């Protein structure tokens, strides 16, 4: 019984932690907007205090994703041209 309670407790903490980083506006009352703004401010402060190495990893990942996006756009453009060529033959 104790192990089951501990497992449930650990699961609840992990779920709470993952949802803590998702700021969602749940309505348009002053209290809800204030909670949302507070959440966004907390995230901004948290990101300011990340180690420089962590920020560099994020920048590297962003550059990699931008390059991959550029390559995919080029492939898509090539496929579009090939399709247009095929349609013009018909």
pLDDT tens figures, 20-35: 457 888 888 888 888 8
Query: What 3-state class would DSSP assign to 24?
Result: coil
What pLDDT is attached to residue 53? Answer: 65
Percent over 70 (pLDDT), the chain: 70
pLDDT tens figures, 52-72: 666 677 888 889 999 999 999
- Record the pTM: 0.38
Instruction: For 25-53, give the DSSP string.
Output: ---SSHHHHHHHHHHHHHHHHHHHTS-HH
What pLDDT is attached to residue 21? Answer: 58
């Amino acid at each position: 019984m104790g192990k089951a309670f501990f497992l449930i407790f650990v699961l609840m903490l992990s779920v709470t932690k993952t949802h803590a980083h998702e700021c969602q506006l749940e309505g348009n009352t002053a209290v809800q907007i204030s909670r949302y703004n507070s959440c966004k401010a907390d995230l901004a402060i948290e990101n300011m205090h990340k180690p420089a190495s962590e920020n560099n990893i994020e920048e590297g990942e962003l550059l990699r994703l931008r390059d991959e996006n550029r390559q995919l756009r080029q492939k898509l453009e090539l496929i579009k041209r090939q399709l247009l060529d095929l349609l013009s033959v018909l």
